Amino acid sequence: MASSSSNLISLKTSDGTVFKVERALAKTMKTVQAIIEEADANIYMIPIHNVFSHHMDMIIDYYKLSVAGKSKEFSVEKLDNDELKDFLLAVHYLNMEDLFEVLTQAVADRLEKKSVGYVRKYFGIENDFTPEEYAAIRKKNDWAFKGDDIEPEEDEEKQEE
Amino acid sequence: MNMAVAGEADAITIIADKSQITTVNATTDSDDDKVSSISQMDSDDDKVSGNNKYIHDDLSFYILSKLPIKSLKRFGCVRKSWSILFENPNFMTMFRKHFIISSNNDDDADDSGHTFLLIHHPEMDLYRAQLHLLPRDQSFKNTLKLNLPPPFHDDDVNINILCSTSVNGIFCLNQYYRGGDANKVRFVLWNPATNEFVVLPPSPDESEPRPPDLSSYHSFHGFGYDKVRDDIKVFQYVTLDYYDYNNCPPITFDPMFVIYSLRTNSWRIIDIDMPYWLCSNAYQGFEVYSDGMCHWVAKHHTGEKCLLSFDLSEEVFFITPMDENSDFSHSTRYHLVVLNGSIALISNHVSADTIFQISILGELRVRESWIKLFIIGPIPSFDWRPIGVGKEGYIFFRKKDDELAWVDLSTQIVEEIGVKGEEMNCNIGTYKESLLPIEGLNN
């Protein structure tokens, strides 16, 4: 039976799981908070789009760590790059400031040494340069492609220095 | 918005204590429809494109704003709008904000970092040094005054802190001997937290016997940490010249580049080809240190300025040209600092001398990696030149009325420390405490 006890908010994830969360945690989700504030009567359940139960698990983990002053111990190491992106999109949708900062930094760190090709795929972006334009800008920034730790471009042949 | 859902057999999940969680997925058909209709109501942000959701510019730019300059220049090749990120005001606002925040986060972790103020007060005609650590609000009222180490107890005149920073919790202080032998320089490595100090032996240029009217000029010096050898090094570039040009023998002396290693507690002379002369000189302490290297603004014989760097591990010099739009006339002046771990140039043009521009360098050796980051001002009260960068990236200046003040880059608000200083007699930098003993110190 759904209850609307004043301290717990029910959130239903995209995969149908219901989480009852403390009001304080719901407050960190600005999207949810806006829904609550707009409602005249008590809300029984708030659906949260694009948020799956495994995302909620991690959100709750982060919340518990940050309440204990240990937010720096929160780690997304076990997520691969795509899982991390999905998690970020969920947190972005929920509009959760602190966790959003953590995740955008985590994504940035993962992308830092990646190739142009990888980044295009990751962000779902098409190349809108003509081949000539690309060649010109590639050449101009050649220095940014150098370094043993930088991922080489897939379509570029290795050139003799 | 009433979300009562009839006919569902969900279980309630109590989150207050995770150990008690039982989650059950609701699986009635009506629920599946609801779930799928929810996912079709995807927020506008995410259109499916192949296997990857398209990420909107707002979000992608926010992620990009946390990347280093080299990555951003490379990703400029991703698409056209990314190739002009550094001209995009929205992006630059995010980039600046993150640049400032990330410098603050380094200090949050521990409270062992401070702004230091080295100030010389005139007493009779001597300028005596005082070293203070500023409190968090950067106000002079609650500073901690540090006692200089014993070698300076009886003589605290004209002291420099090399590179305006501590390295591994150690300061390198130097002082030019007054009266007596003006050719001698005294260097002392000092850890204020442990009170240990090491007086460096005389450098080779001092040990060689030479005619009394021959003077040494210490053109520049620096100090820092060689992480390859786990060694602290101090170096100086010494030129020798006759004091009285009218009355000197026709002999020339080669300049000497000497480097001291704490591990061996000795100096070496290094053979270095040094074709560039500095704009500034050692007495004014315009060198900076960052990440195993020392840097200066130097000037070619053509008048063109550049960044000159010395790698303490490799023991080599190299050049980074300045931004191609730089003005090398006397109308523009430059001051080199380290800001949030990046090499940064603060510049000021005489025709708009209340405005200060800050550019940061993305990659050493790469002219194209200078990025114009901040414009501060107008601040008419500030006098050129900045006196240093403190904690949180606060930039300190002397005001025209001699009050020492700082500007916060995120707010552009100017605040006074609460003490006055004379031109060329105050220096600001950062100190980070370390309790590690100075290597090689004999007890």
What is chain B's pLDDT, residue by residue, as a tens digit (443 residues)?
A: 333 333 333 333 333 333 333 333 333 333 333 333 333 334 444 443 334 577 888 999 999 999 999 999 999 999 999 999 999 999 999 999 999 987 666 545 556 789 999 999 888 888 899 999 999 999 999 999 999 999 999 888 889 999 999 999 999 999 876 655 556 788 999 999 999 999 999 888 777 666 667 777 776 889 999 999 999 999 988 877 766 666 666 666 677 889 999 999 999 999 877 655 544 433 456 899 999 999 988 887 777 888 989 999 999 988 899 998 888 888 899 999 999 999 999 999 999 999 999 999 999 999 999 999 999 989 999 999 899 999 989 999 999 999 999 999 999 999 999 999 988 889 999 999 999 888 654 33
Write down the pLDDT at residue B327: 86
Helices (H), B65-184: 69-75, 80-83, 89-108
Beta-strand pair B332-339/B342-349: antiparallel
Q: Are A50 and B64 within 8 A, CB to CB? A: no
Q: Which of B78, B80, B81 to mutate to test the interface with A (most CBs of A within 10 A)?
A: B78
A112 to chain B, closest Cα gap in Å: 6
Query: What confidence score (pLDDT) does residue B5 get?
Result: 36
The answer to whether A96 and A29 have CB atoms below 8 angstroms apart is yes
Task: Say if the Cβ atoms of B73 and A105 lie within 8 Å.
Answer: no
Of B42, B46, B80, the CB nearest to A128: B80
Kindly determine whether residue B66 and residue A60, on different chains, have CB atoms separated by under 8 Å: no
Do the chains contact at B26 and A18, CB–CB below 8 Å?
Answer: yes
pLDDT score at B124? 85
Contact B77, A129 (CB under 8 A): yes
pTM: 0.84
> In this complex, is the C-beta atom of B55 within 8 Å of any C-beta atom belonging to chain A?
yes
pLDDT computed for residue A158 by the predictor: 54
**CB contact B350 to A (< 8 Å):** no
Q: Do A50 and B42 touch (CB under 8 A)?
A: yes
Pairing of strands A46-47, A8-12: parallel
B403-407 and B395-399: which strand pairing?
antiparallel
- A157 pLDDT band, cuts 50/70/90, is low
**Chain A contacts in chain B segment 21-40 (CB below 8 A):** 23-27, 31-32, 34-35, 38-39
Half-sphere exposure of B232 (CA within 13 A, CB side): 25
For residues A116 and B77, the answer to whether their CB atoms sit within 8 Å is: yes
**Residue keyed to tokens 């009779």:** B124
User: Percent of chain A beyond pLDDT 90?
Assistant: 79
Query: Which chain B residues are within 8 Å of A35, Cβ to Cβ?
Result: 1
Point out the residue among A14, A25, A145 whose CB comes nearest to the CB of B74.
A145
- Residue B179 is predicted with a pLDDT of 55
Q: For Cα atoms B16, A103, B368, give the angle at the middle one, nearest 5 degrees.
A: 165
Q: Chain B residues with CB inside 8 Å of A120's CB? A: 78-79
Window 368-427 of B: residues touching A by CB (8 A cutoff) are 368-369
Six token digits for residue B158: 């004209």
Instruction: For residue A72, give the amino acid letter.
Output: K
Q: Say yes or no: B64 contacts chain A, CB-CB below 8 A.
A: yes
The whole-angstrom separation of Cα B414 and Cα B396 is 9
User: Could you give the dihedral angle defined by the CA atoms of residues B418, B419, B424 and B427, in that order, rounded to the nearest 10 degrees?
Assistant: -60
| A33-46: pLDDT as tens digits | 998 888 866 777 89
Confidence at residue A150, expressed as pLDDT on a 0 to 100 scale: 95
Please judge whether A43 and B5 are an interchain contact, meaning their C-beta atoms are less than 8 angstroms apart.
Answer: no
- Judge: A18–B12 Cβ closer than 8 Å, yes or no: yes
User: Which residues on A lie below 8 Å from B50 (Cβ)?
Assistant: 124
Checking if the pLDDT of A71 tops 50, the result is yes
**Chain A residues with CB inside 8 Å of B77's CB?**
116, 129, 134, 137-138, 141
A43, A65, A155: which is closest to A76 by C-alpha? A65
Mutate to test the interface with B, among A13, A126, A143, A155 (most CBs of B within 10 A): A143
Residue B7 at interface with chain A, using a CB cutoff of 8 Å: no
Per-residue confidence (pLDDT) for residue A121, from 0 to 100: 94
The pair of structure tokens assigned to B17 is 């204590």
ipTM above 0.90, yes or no: yes
At residue B379, the pLDDT reads 96
Which tens digit of pLDDT belongs to each residue from A75-91? 999 999 999 999 999 99
